[in-house]
Amino acid sequence: MKIDHRNLQTRIPVTDDFISIDNSKCTQCDRCLVICVMNLWKKRDDTVYIVDDYTSHCLECGACAQVCESDAITFRFPAGGTGIVIEQG
């Protein structure tokens, strides 16, 4: 059974940026790449980045910032009343 878990969410469009990475602090431990259940972190030429349309997929779990012990990733929640809507939690 193949479940497309990335399309099993409801959300209200997010208008602000709420995750960022400071590449000068990033040690390329790649833990954010492993932990993100939506695969929103990528790496190209030794640079870790978050995909452009992350606000359309992010589950707001905060795992990326939690595993980033070099404090490169900044996470806060999107503006009130926007983002993920969990209907059957």
Partner 1 sequence: MKEYDIVIVGAGPGGSTAAKEAAERGLKTIFFERGRRPGEKNSSGTGLGPRLWREFDFMNEINSEDCPSIREGRAARNYMVDSEGKVTGYIMTTPTSSVEYEPAKSWITLNCYRSDFDPWLAKYAVDAGAELKTSTLVTGLLKEDGKVVGVIDEKGEKYRGFVIGADGAVSMVAQQSGLRQRWGQKQVTLTLQYDFECSASKIDDVMGDEALAVWWSATFPAAYQVFFNSSFHIGFGNWMTWWDKNPVHYLNKVVNLDYFQRLIRVLDAKPREFQAHLLPWLGMPENTHTDNVILIGDAGGFPCPLEAEGIYPAMVTGRAAIETATEAIAAGDTSKEFLSLYDDKWMATSVGEDFKSGPELQSIWMALPFSPRKSMSWFVPLFMEILGGIIDWSEAHPVRIRQVARTIRKYLPQLVPFVIKEVIPLLTSVLGEDRMDMLTDPEKLLTEMPEIEEALAMAFMQDEEED
Note the residues at the interface with partner 1 (CB under 8 A). Answer: 1, 3, 5-6, 8-10, 12, 34-37, 39, 59-63, 65-67, 69, 71, 75-81, 83-89
Answer yes or no: are the C-beta atoms of 4 and 41 closer than 8 Å.
Answer: no
CA distances to 27, 46, 58, 71, 88 from 9, rounded to whole Å, are: 32, 31, 10, 29, 10
Q: State which residue, 5 or 28, has the beta carbon closest to partner 1.
A: 5
Taking the complex as a whole, the smallest distance from the CB of residue 72 to partner 1 amounts, in Å, to 12
Answer yes or no: are the C-beta atoms of 81 and 7 closer than 8 Å.
Answer: no
Taking the complex as a whole, the smallest distance from the CB of residue 73 to partner 1 amounts, in Å, to 10
Taking the complex as a whole, the smallest distance from the CB of residue 78 to partner 1 amounts, in Å, to 8
